[in-house]
């Protein structure tokens, strides 16, 4: 069995964490990005998400930055009682992920 040195293990852990981490943006940052035209209005993207699942209810919406890309993470409760998590690219409105949560 090969044993990794502490420094090598730390580097691997750091690389792994940097891949999976996302930065949540606060409302001031989101407003600034919207005013600068970097991201689309949340209301517009929420409308798209709600049209995908008619009658659903919004549970949560967050703006995150992952690898330099701004993403709205939206959670909906469908009329069937299923929670859906949608990732929508904030700059374009492109749906990146739609999964049952």
Residue at 15 is within a domain: no
pLDDT at 53: 96
Residue at 6 is within a domain: no
What's the pLDDT tens digit per position in 69-83?
999 999 999 999 999
Q: Could you list the residue range(s) of the whole structural domain that residue 40 is in? A: 22-100
Residue at 45 is within a domain: yes
Residue at 7 is within a domain: no
Residue at 2 is within a domain: no
Residue at 74 is within a domain: yes
pTM, full prediction: 0.75
Q: How many domains does the chain have?
A: 1
Residue at 62 is within a domain: yes
Residue 60, domain CATH? 3.10.450.40
d(CA 90, CA 20): 19
HSE of 74, CA atoms in CB hemisphere, 13 A: 31
């Amino acid at each position: 069995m090969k044993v990794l040195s502490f420094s090598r293990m730390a580097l691997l852990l750091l690389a792994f964490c940097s891949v999976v981490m996302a930065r949540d943006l606060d409302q001031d940052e989101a407003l600034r990005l919207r005013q600068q035209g970097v991201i689309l209005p949340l209301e517009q993207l929420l409308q798209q998400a709600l049209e995908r699942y008619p009658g659903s209810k919004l549970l949560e919406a967050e703006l995150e930055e992952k690898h330099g890309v701004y993403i709205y993470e939206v959670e909906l409760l469908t009329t069937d009682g299923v929670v859906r998590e949608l990732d929508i690219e904030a700059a374009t409105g492109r749906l990146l992920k739609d999964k049952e949560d």
